[in-house]
Structure 1
Amino acid sequence: MRELVVLGTASQTPTRTRNHNGYVLRWDDEVILFDPGEGSQRQLLYSTVTATDLTRICVTHFHGDHCLGLPGTIQRLSLDRVPHPVAVHFPAGGTDYFNRLRHASSFHETAELDVAPIDADGQQVAIRGGTLEARRLRHPVETYGYRLIEPDGHRMLPERLSAHGIAGPAIGELLRVGHLDVAGHRVTREQVSAPRPGQRFAFVMDTGLCDAVYALADNADLLVIEATFLASESALAAEVGHLTAGQAAQVATECGVRRLVLTHFSQRYPDLSRFVAEAREHFAGDLVVAEDLTTVQVPPRRVLSAR
């Protein structure tokens, strides 16, 4: 299962219909909580995700709307006696903030947290199903965006396998080794398969336009990106280190994004249809203007023709 569960879509101030930030990515065996803002623990109760499901937490930066849900979430992990370690990533410069949030109140800590701060642009973490990479964004405080990259692979073609008399455990050996000797001749993996591009997910919050935004979004199957403002407030967006809906959509087009999710909306905009209209001026692909407690599927894999 690969899908995004949206817990909240507000920016600095929540509204009656938008909770503070919170996004859960289900990626096979990984369940990653990004930017748990205030109220995330409660939003989980309304979603299809439980605290026990979580395997990893990623924080982009330590502005309140992206991290004030950490105390409740961490305490819930202990209350539920989550049986597995939960990795936590955040900007290393904010370690003091993390420690204060982790121990914001008295509780019996039983959860095992694997605390692994991000201290370098481009830092990579090996996870189940791929690599998690962090890129430094442009914001008034230390901020990192994240992307998950699955390695490229091969899609085995049954008709070609059958033509060479390859079946059962021999298929796995062919995948591992790259070739197989059958009836006196060698069959290579490339002869009986087609390329299978790995999938990519990107998460970009609170930033002005910079090279890292494009690096994170490059060829993403699913891009979750802030669109705090509309173009009418582009000067303000640049001043405070944020994106407009039009800028986010342009990034998606230039980077070949397949499904674009806009979120993190300023409370000054009660009508999100304006975000749709502005984004459509720059992006013709699959567009989602996120709402609280919605689920967005990662698009099906790209299929390349066999050689």
Structure 2
Amino acid sequence: MSTRELIVLGTGSQVPSRARNHNGYLLRWDSLGLLFDPGEGTQRQLTFAGVPASAVTRICLTHFHGDHCLGLPGVVQRLSLDGVARVHAHYPASGQEHFERLRHASVFHETTELVEEPVTGDGVVARGEFGELSALRLDHPVEAFGYRLVEPDRRTMVPRLLRCHGIHGPDVGALLRSGSITVGGRTVAVEDVSVLRTGQRFAFVMDTRLCDNVFALAQDADLLVIEATFLDEEAELAHRYGHLTARQAARVARESGVRTLVLTHFSQRYSTMTRFHDQAAQEFDGDIVVAHDLDRIPVPRRPRPE
């Protein structure tokens, strides 16, 4: 069975604490491993989570504030140390100089091919069997992008319809290969015995004010990981510094049809997280996770057709 889960490596913001590391999020999506915003200490957090460096196939940076990228040197060097062959890296093109400095922050024997794919604007940044990975610009004092992963829609066979049309055994494979099959003098098409199953969707939104692209990234996401730096009482402060509150993040989830909402990137001023859940629950009645370091959160599966 394929694995699709979010491994939370850090949930702090500007200043890490004893309980919360700087940011870091690994999305395991079948054979794909997307490492988002590796903040300081990410390499060690991967070890605590029991995840090898070889699990990382793509690195995605939203922007170049330190809590989102200062762990990059350690991760890049660990990739070479562990013999990882190739990893793709996406980051705002305006931060090219910062990326180069982080990548070559110290002397090491580089063997991993790090394929740099700077993000220059809104659009698809990668395609593959996994689907499409897109980036959309956010509203933050420095250039920042959010990411969205969309699996292709696929047809799923409905056992009841197969039985009704007398299709079973090897005929199912023949139908899938050719698109139609003749049974009992009747032609049966794939569409007659299947339903279109919408692909799973994941969204990652970090430092930003509310803007249209936040909602676009979150649209119909099965799992939305989104910053909730402040509580509602600090809404003015959040807007001034380009951040969201827990209530604003929950509003995004509600208006965008999100299934599971993951709140993270908490200011060090807060010692308890109960009110983050409470304020979010006033806006959103779906599943809410107030993330903690080393949480493992499954991407909710879409129901199978009967």
Per the normalisation by structure 1, the TM-score is 0.95
Matched with 2:6 is: 4
List, as ranges, runs of 4+ consecutive aligned residues in structure 1 with deviation greater than 6 Å: none
CA 1:85/1:173 → structure 2, altered by over 3 Å: closer, same or farther? farther
Partner secondary structure for residue 236 of structure 2: helix
Amino acid at match of 1:89: H
Contact 1:197/1:302, CA 8 A, preserved across alignment: no
The one of 72, 79, 83 equivalent to 2:81 is 79
| Alpha-carbon separation, structure 1, partners of 2:170 and 2:100 | 49
* Residue 66 in structure 1 maps to residue 68 in structure 2: yes
Matches for 1:196-207 after TM superposition, within 5 Å: 196-207=197-208
CA distance in 1, matches of 2:129, 2:143: 27
Q: Cα distance 1:234–1:26, how it changes in 2: closer, same or farther (>3 A)? A: same
* Matching residue of 2:124: 123
CA distance in 1, matches of 2:182, 2:265: 55
The residue type equivalent to 1:74 in the other structure is V
Whole-Å separation in 2 of the counterparts to 1:123 and 1:192:
33
1:55-204 correspondence runs (5 A):
55-82=57-84, 84-204=85-205
Shift of 1:52: 1.3
Q: Return the offset for 1:268.
A: 0.5
Displacement of 1:169 in angstroms is 4.9
Alignment partners' CA distance in 1, 2:105 and 2:283: 44
Q: Which SS does the other structure have where 1:123 is aligned?
A: strand
* Match in the other structure for 1:45: 47
Counterpart-to-counterpart distance in 2, 1:59 and 1:184: 57
Q: Deviations over 1:173-194 (max 9, x none)?
A: 4335432233432111121112
Q: Distance in 1 between matches of 2:97 and 2:173?
A: 48
Asked whether the equivalents of residues 158 and 305 of structure 2 are also in contact (C-alpha less than 8 Å), the reply is no
Alpha-carbon distance in structure 2 between the residues aligned to 1:39 and 1:173: 52
Shift in alpha-carbon separation, 1:176–1:251, aligned structure 2, 3 A: farther
Could you tell me how far 1:300 is from its partner in structure 2?
1.5
Query: Which stretches in structure 2 are left out of the alignment for 5+ residues?
Result: none
What do the CA deviations read for 1:134-172 (whole angstroms, capped 9, x no partner)? 000000111000010011112212232234343445434
- What is the number of residues matched between the two proteins? 304
Q: Secondary structure at the match of 2:261?
A: strand
SS of the counterpart of 2:203?
strand
Question: Which of 16, 21, 29 lines up with 1:14 in the alignment?
Answer: 16
- CA offsets, 1:183-214, max 9 Å, x none? 43211112111221110000000000001000
Shift of 1:132: 0.4
For normalisation by structure 2, the TM-score amounts to 0.96
Residue 299 of structure 2 aligns with which residue? 298
For 1:117, the aligned partner's letter is P
Show structure 1 runs of 5+ residues with no match: none
- The corresponding residue for 1:212 is 213
SS at match of 2:63: coil
Q: Is the 8 A contact 1:21 1:36 kept in 2?
A: yes
Q: 1:121, CA displacement in angstroms?
A: 1.0
